[in-house]
Amino acid sequence: MKFNVRSRGDHASNVLTQRVKSYLEEFGLVYDEEEPEIVISIGGDGTLLEAFHQYAYRLDETSFVGVHTGHLGFYADWQPEEVEKLVIHIAKTPFKIVEYPLLEVLIRHTNDLETERYLALNECTVKSMEGSLVMDIEIKGEQFETFRGDGLCMSTPSGSTAYNKALGGAILHPSLASIQLAEMASINNRVYRTIGSPVVLPEHHTCLLKPRSDVDFQVTLDHLTLVQKKVKSIQVRVAAEKIRFARFRPFPFWKRVKESFI
């Protein structure tokens, strides 16, 4: 089996990365950064987000597992002192695959025929580079509202515990193939009106954001930030692809939520 190990880059994660790499090679596994079948992320959730984006083009062939070298991780379930056990599992036992839904983001431009396509594991956020964000929001082809405010956050169920949670969004179990649209400080008065609460869309519903004016936008995809000009629309929905996690033992979602937040 071909593997890669990705480190957060701090000393403790780098040391652990070298140990995992040499243990796996001792078991006859092949280190391959180009086409790994399993990627071991050593660091935090941010490290796993980076690993996901590195291999987002080959999600069918790559599984992920995380070791956390800091506080408890949502995507990283193994402790540093357990790496020998994890290595033996990877080398010796066929692992179970758990799939989580992803967000698909399509950005269309007024001056360009080409559509940009991105995937996000946590979320996509949209903010205006100047003044309030003003967007018409369509859900499943119907005008839903005109949003005015700081920004919008469209998250996956596994990303619902990240930025979305800070915006007052609900925590969704990753078995619910859905996206959640959460507002950032919407302007609500007699003139401007938005729904004011987070909205959860099912797999077959598409959300389309259409700018009211030709301004530049800041679009984030997990930890990545893009500046987008001449935007015609930003379309979000549940992606056809899923991320695959290698599971060697149960990793209950609600236990993670409880241990992280309560």
Catalytic residues: 45
101 sits near ligand NAP (criterion: CB under 6 A): no
CA–CA separation, 83 vs 81, rounded Å? Answer: 6
What single letter denotes the amino acid at residue 78? Answer: W
Whole-angstrom CA distances from 76 to 42, 70, 73, 116, 169 are 8, 10, 5, 30, 22
Q: Contact region for ligand NAP (CB under 6 A) — 70-78, 179-187, 202-210, 242-250?
A: 70-78
CB-wise, 158 or 186, nearer to ligand NAP? 158
CB-wise, 62 or 156, nearer to ligand NAP? 156
CA–CA separation, 199 vs 209, rounded Å? Answer: 14
What single letter denotes the amino acid at residue 102? Answer: L
Binding mask 76-95 for ligand NAP (x = CB under 6 A): --------------------
44 sits near ligand NAP (criterion: CB under 6 A): yes
> Could you write out the three-class secondary structure of 162-215?
CHHHHCCCCCCCCCCCEEEEEEEEECCCCCCCCCCCCEEEECCCCEEEEECCCC
Report angle CA 51, 247, 178 to the nearest 5 degrees: 70
52 sits near ligand NAP (criterion: CB under 6 A): no
Among 222, 237, 239, 243, binds ligand NAP (CB under 6 A): 222
Answer for the pair 169, 255: CB distance below 8 angstroms, yes or no.
no
Among 122, 178, 180, 186, binds ligand NAP (CB under 6 A): 122
Q: Contact region for ligand NAP (CB under 6 A) — 66-74, 79-87, 126-134, 230-238?
A: 66-74
Q: What are phi and psi of 81, to 5 degrees?
A: -75, -5
211 sits near ligand NAP (criterion: CB under 6 A): no
Among 17, 41, 69, 158, binds ligand NAP (CB under 6 A): 158
Query: Where do contacts with ligand NAP occur on this chain (CB under 6 A)?
Result: 44-46, 49, 70, 73-74, 122-123, 158-159, 161-163, 166, 222-223
For the annotated binding site for NAD(+), the residues are 45-46, 122-123, 148, 150, 185
